[in-house]
Amino acid sequence: MSQLHKTLNSDDCYRALIARDSRFDGVFFVAVKSTRIYCRPVCTVKSPMQRNCTFYPSAAICESNGYRPCLRCRPELAPGHAPVDSRTRLAGQALRLIDDLANSDLANSDLGSLAKVAQLLGVTPRHLRRVFEGELGVSPMQYILTQRLLAAKLMLTDTNMPVTEIALASGFASVRRFNDAFVEHYKLNPSRLRKEARPGWRNELKTDARPNIIACQLSYRPPYDWESMLSYLRARGSALVERVSDDGKYLRTVAIGDSKGYLVVEQTRDSKGQIKPNALTLSMSASLGPVFMQVVTRIKRLFDLQANPLVIADALGELAAERPGLRVPGAFDSFEIGVRAILGQQVSVKAATSLAGRLAERFGERIQTPYADIYLATPDPRVLACADVDEISALGIMPTRARAIKVFATAYGELDLAPGADYKTTVAALTALPGIGEWTAEYIAMRCLAWPDAFMHGDLGIKKALGISTKKALIEVAQQYKPWRAYATMHLWKSLEIK
């Protein structure tokens, strides 16, 4: 049974259904009594009345109760977040892995792509193909091809990258194969699509073109409390790796595989210099072209661009009245967030930021950027796993924290800290590591897993904001904020800043 079904009642599930938040997709299904059809929570049909809804943790239970699957949202395509059965979980893991792998890793050949995914999942390519087709209705390679084409379409319409670079960045082994696939599936070649699609945006890019820069827009649902997001990241950024500028931009280094560079995120402005209320502009060095889609995905997670703020604010009521656009900061690099959380144990936010900078300076790789204060990559977990505890503690880090960092780095490859991973399982795995307590584990899970209902019930700041002294009382009071307790946490922390 899924974690949501264990902890949420009908009202909580219905709020999630109304929000159509993709993070609940696969976590539960809604069966509608009036139509005898069951759907995913992201289905685009008109939302049914709550009295007609019953919520189940799996498609199998829906069908055993006489409901048939929706033909529009296709429940069989729901991600494998909920433990429906082992085949569905495997297909879901394959989907997530394919989406998160660097496009360059999938570019060598179709056979190589499937073999790599199967190897990482610990199954044979033949078994993966059988499960994939049985659960999703398409072969792994059909799915990979679709992902490549959609990535290429985004880069063609929203960036100034040359077509030849887009072909390679989206995972095609050659420009010829790229062109052939486009013509076969979209009935026009890439250059023609670029000319016909969104000419206004293309003109803006040409007018403001900067050498060796790739730029694109990332949309979100307004409102967005940009200043609060920057304030949070400014205080907790890893020194020498990321920072927030005085003119309201987020800057950081990036190291993904062999691709290294930097990026800048800022509010999008129109031709008159006015801020657009529904988009951010992401600019990155051309050196990151091969991992363009990975960078886009990570930035969307970091800035919580998939949230539906008005639905969440409505559910939180008075708590969110002053700042309905407040988001939950995610993680660009889950290892970076984990180390930062460990460094922050029993020290001030400012001190933890300084320690993170020292760690990057000692163990991080230098990256070429045009900025004097961000030029180091987050230390690789393999490097810290091999480092001596005394070498880490020599940076001013307490020996217990140094050992915890080394343990975390060693275990990192076995931990599932990706969005969609099970919250309770992740917290349990983290707290089993020496030196990582419940608060640290919950914080890592909130930032890295993007689970909207993550909640640190032992947080002293939350207790202070609510005027509560015991953990039991806090858990009871927090029930009113489900399934958006992570957002409630941000509002409660913000209220302490205002005071």
Tokens 């584990």 — which residue? Answer: 441
Answer whether 136's CB lies under 8 Å from 77's CB. Answer: yes
Please report which helix (H) or strand (E) contains residue 176, including its range.
Answer: helix 175-186
Please report which helix (H) or strand (E) contains residue 478, including its range.
Answer: helix 471-478
Token pair for residue 457? 């019930």
Q: How many CB atoms lie within 10 A of CB 418?
A: 18
Give the whole-angstrom CA distance, residue 312 versus residue 304: 13
Answer whether 402's CB lies under 8 Å from 392's CB. Answer: yes
483 preceded by a cis bond (ω within 30 of 0): yes
Q: How many CB atoms lie within 10 A of CB 298?
A: 20
Give the whole-angstrom CA distance, residue 175 versus residue 165: 9
Indicate the pairing of strand 275-285 with strand 259-269: antiparallel
Q: How many CB atoms lie within 10 A of CB 67?
A: 23
Give the whole-angstrom CA distance, residue 481 versus residue 472: 15
Please report which helix (H) or strand (E) contains residue 404, including its range.
Answer: helix 399-411
Give the whole-angstrom CA distance, residue 231 versus residue 377: 22
Give the whole-angstrom CA distance, residue 405 versus residue 33: 51
Neighbour-count burial for 166-185, b at 16+ CB within 10 Å, e otherwise: bbbbbbbeeeeebbebbeee
- Among 150, 295, 134, which residue's Cα sits nearest to residue 214? 295
Give the whole-angstrom CA distance, residue 170 versus residue 153: 9
Residues annotated as catalytic (active site), given as ranges: 39, 459
Token pair for residue 478? 């927090």
